[in-house]
């Protein structure tokens, strides 16, 4: 769980107040803090997958070309 104001990690705190910005929170009321979004994790994974596809799309033709050149020698 994270502070709504400054995103400080509020886990394992004894006081129910953010030590960074002082905003109060109630661990039993999820409206007083934020939780990490699994949606953002999925977006990051999709982005990483697309980046991998693009990089391999650029590298693979170069590897094929290099192999063809080496065989021609």
Residues 31 and 15 in one domain: yes
Task: Tell whether the torsion through CA atoms of 48, 53, 56 and 57 is positive or negative.
Answer: negative
Residues 44 and 30 in one domain: no
> Over the Cα atoms of the chain, what is R_g?
24
* pLDDT for 38: 65
Which residue segment(s) compose the domain that 46 sits in? 37-72
Pairwise CA distance, residues 59 & 47, whole Å? 18
Question: Quick one: 41 exposed, middle or buried, by C-beta within 10 A (0-12, 13-18, 19+)?
Answer: exposed
Residues 43 and 32 in one domain: no
pTM of the full structure: 0.49
* pLDDT for 43: 83
Residues 32 and 54 in one domain: no
Task: State how many domains the chain has.
Answer: 2
What values do phi and psi take at 29, rounded to 5? -120, 100
pLDDT tens digits along 16-62:
999 999 999 999 998 999 987 666 778 888 999 999 999 999 999 99
């Amino acid at each position: 769980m994270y502070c709504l104001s400054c995103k400080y990690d509020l886990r394992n705190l004894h006081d129910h107040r953010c030590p960074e910005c002082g905003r109060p929170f109630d661990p039993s009321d999820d409206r007083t803090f934020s939780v990490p979004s699994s949606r953002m994790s999925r977006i990051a994974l999709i982005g990483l997958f697309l980046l991998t596809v693009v990089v391999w799309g650029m590298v693979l033709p170069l590897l094929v070309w290099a192999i063809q050149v080496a065989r021609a020698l």
